[in-house]
Amino acid sequence: MALLNICIGGEFFNRMREEDRCYVDKTRFIEELLVPNQPLVSLITRPRRFGKTLTMTMLRDFFAIDKESKALFEGLAISRNTELCEKWMNQYPTIFLTFKGIEGRNFDSALARMADLLQDICLEHAYLLESQKVDAESKERLSTIKRGVSSENVMAGALKLLCRALETHWERPVILLIDEYDVPINCAEQNGYYREMVDFMRNILGATIKTNKSLKFAVLTGCLRIAKESIFTGLNNFRCYGISDEQFSDKIGFTAQEVEQLLNSANLIDKKNVLQEWYDGYCFGNTTEIYCPWDVLLYIDDLQSNPSAKPKAYWNNTSGNSIVRTLINQAQEATIKQKIERLISGQAIEEELNEELTYDVIYQSENNIWTMLYLTGYLTKTPDQPDNENTSLTIPNKEVLKIFTNTISKWFNESLKKEDLSPFVAALWSGDNAKVQETLTRILYDTISYYDSAENYYHGFMSGLIRGAGLPITSNRESGLGRTDIVAEDGYNKRAIIIELKYAREYRDLEKKAQEGLAQIKDRNYAASLSSQIREVICYGISFWKKESNVAVYKFIREEK
């Protein structure tokens, strides 16, 4: 195996290149950005962990006039376009900043982080305070920000002030790069100061990109296009490039060809199908097949230290997946429940999407939630789209499927805490198989089912239900001549329950499968491993087919030894 020098979470292009880290060449993004009739402001929206920040630092290193970047780009695709490099490389003053850290429990704490960020930017360009070209008033105002003494009004005009000073010093207009521009608004919506943050962002971005004569052009990245917030109102030369747009569709995220090249370099081409099943499936633009870079690199890195490593839901660990939880919490509506079940069974749903969402209305309608799931990478477009205005959506891969099923499992267990399961417990201990079957079928119809691995699903369903009912259970333990699915012992009352689960592939086989489960308990003597004080044993063979169940029961009294 050839070891790739992978940098997990690497966001700084210069460090990736200087340290000879594994880098998938995305420099043709620069050529695509510098097209004729280039917009003054380009907003590029992509899901998290797809490489937006690394792309933005690559742009900074290419354009920044105070850097010497030729060596960084040596051998990369853009270096072959010598005319473009001579015209643009290190030719413009460039400001790069990321808003991903502008978070806080209240507006004041978020503003304090913004003040810190602007202070850092001024420190980075502190040479302006010594410039013979920059006027004294601008120097004084920059010095105030550099010292961290900033009011809301001062911060709102800080970037415009910095642009003007940079243009004056370098005698060239400024390129502005703002990464994760919508993080402050998302955080504000979650913590109750949404309107204040929107007003502030309107002021700072409005001053910086709408009324800024010192601007050459600006590139912004984020998850959502929030034009309806009026942040970009009045900006005529503005373009948003979302995941449905063809332009830049292959420039952020890994293409299938790039993943194959990585696997060949690491002598891991035999893992191609596994990576495709787990981390592929995104469709950007009309047809571009995209992998999530975060997952691909993490899995390759795991394989380099452990060739037998199994794929994981790495993406799941980078977020609380609140949007998925919100959708599932709304599944009391039968239509939503049915759509979720279709998605997790590998089918598609058709929805009318609104890609100009605002964070304050995400949860106000079902369509908005489906849109948010699409824009944030939990759903993707199918290759075949309907002729109407709807969009056909599906779950992209096994990783996201696991996020959905894990969230459903947690939702199911939490919902059980709200239900009175005492009648179910009484029926189990009395051997009332009709009542047990009635309860199981009712709960199955009330919950969200998935059948990607039917046996595991029903085992988890029954285990969660019995634990939710307050019974201490053991699962899949050695007993007699095999492993029984579920055992619950009540030592105080000297009784126990043994359950063997079966999955019927057809409805007509339900009863037969339940009887097979009961026969298996007897034939393999699962009761042999019960505690010696147990006298009464209630055995259940329970079969499932989709949302239907069948319950067979057999009770006996153990002889005292």
User: What is the tens place of the pLDDT at every residue in 123-156?
Assistant: 999 999 999 999 999 999 999 999 987 789 999 9
| pLDDT at position 482 | 61
Q: Are residues 88 and 147 in the same domain?
A: yes
Q: Are residues 383 and 471 in the same domain?
A: no
Run of H or E residues at 217: strand 215-222
Handedness of CA 344, 345, 351, 356 (dihedral sign): positive
Residue 361, pLDDT > 80, answer no
Query: Which of 405, 431, 451 is where one domain is finished?
Result: 405
Q: Are residues 459 and 545 in the same domain?
A: yes
Q: At what angle are helices 433-446 and 454-468 packed, to 10 degrees?
A: 110
Contact 97, 181 (CB under 8 A): no
| pLDDT at position 408 | 86
| pLDDT at position 75 | 96
Q: Give the lowest-confidence range in 21-30, 361-370, 463-472.
A: 361-370
Quickly state the pLDDT bin for 251 (edges 50, 70, 90): very high
Best-predicted range by mean pLDDT (200-209, 259-268, 410-419): 259-268
Q: Are residues 77 and 184 in the same domain?
A: yes
Using the 8-state DSSP alphabet, how is residue 355 labeled? S
Domain contains 247:
no
| pLDDT at position 186 | 87
Tokens 């035999």 appear where? Answer: 270
Contact 548, 441 (CB under 8 A): yes
Tokens 């948003």 appear where? Answer: 240
Residue 227, pLDDT > 70, answer no
Domain contains 411:
no
Higher pLDDT, 164 or 319: 164
Q: Are residues 66 and 202 in the same domain?
A: yes
Q: Are residues 219 and 265 in the same domain?
A: no
| pLDDT at position 545 | 92
Q: Which residues contact 503 (CB under 8 A, 6 or more apart)?
A: 454, 455, 458, 513, 543, 544, 545
Average pLDDT, the chain: 90
Q: List, in sequence order, every residue forming a beta bridge with 473; answer none if it has no partner.
A: 488
| pLDDT at position 169 | 98
Q: What is the DSSP string of 483-527?
A: EEEEEEEETTTTEEEEEEEEE-SSGGGHHHHHHHHHHHHHHTTGG
Tokens 């005529």 appear where? Answer: 236
> How many domains in the chain?
4
Domain contains 413:
no
Both tokens assigned to 378: 């939990």
CA angle at residue 243 from 238 to 249, to 5 degrees?
90
Residue 393, pLDDT > 60, answer yes
Cβ atoms within 10 A of the Cβ of 528, count?
A: 10
Quickly state the pLDDT bin for 319 (edges 50, 70, 90): low
Q: Are residues 91 and 184 in the same domain?
A: yes
CA distance 468 to 465: 5
Quickly state the pLDDT bin for 456 (edges 50, 70, 90): confident
Run of H or E residues at 289: strand 288-291
Phi/psi of residue 499, nearest 5 degrees: -125, 130
Query: Which of 312, 327, 347 is where one domain is finished?
Result: 312
Q: Give the lowest-confidence range in 116-125, 172-181, 321-330, 461-470.
A: 321-330
Using the 8-state DSSP alphabet, how is residue 2 labeled? P
| pLDDT at position 230 | 63
Residue 12, pLDDT > 90, answer yes
| pLDDT at position 317 | 57
Domain contains 45:
yes
CATH label of the domain that carries residue 389 = 1.10.10
Both tokens assigned to 164: 């003007």
Domain contains 9:
no
| pLDDT at position 453 | 57
Quickly state the pLDDT bin for 287 (edges 50, 70, 90): confident
| pLDDT at position 561 | 57
Q: Amino acid identity of 34?
A: L
Domain contains 6:
no
CA distance 338 to 448: 8
CATH label of the domain that carries residue 443 = 3.40.1350
Q: Are residues 510 and 553 in the same domain?
A: yes
Q: Are residues 35 and 154 in the same domain?
A: yes
Residue 229, pLDDT > 60, answer no
CA distance 417 to 159: 52
Q: List, in sequence order, every residue forming a beta bridge with 50; answer none if it has no partner.
A: none
Q: Are residues 185 and 258 in the same domain?
A: no
Query: Which of 405, 427, 462 is where one domain is finished?
Result: 405
What is the extent of the structural domain holding 112?
A: 26-241
Q: Are residues 234 and 109 in the same domain?
A: yes
Residue 228, pLDDT > 60, answer no
Quickly state the pLDDT bin for 364 (edges 50, 70, 90): confident
Domain contains 485:
yes
Percent of the chain at pLDDT > 70 equals 95
Q: Give the lowest-confidence range in 33-37, 437-441, 528-532.
A: 528-532
Mean pLDDT value across residues 50-59: 96
Domain contains 414:
no
Q: List, in sequence order, every residue forming a beta bridge with 443; answer none if it has no partner.
A: none
| pLDDT at position 358 | 74
Q: Are residues 35 and 170 in the same domain?
A: yes
Residue 293, pLDDT > 80, answer yes
Mean pLDDT value across residues 323-336: 80
Phi/psi of residue 552, nearest 5 degrees: -110, 145
| pLDDT at position 469 | 87
Single out the residue of 221, 295, 296, 285 nearest to residue 257, CA to CA.
296
Single out the residue of 67, 84, 64 nearest to residue 76, CA to CA.
84
Tokens 């119809």 appear where? Answer: 445
Handedness of CA 239, 240, 244, 250 (dihedral sign): positive
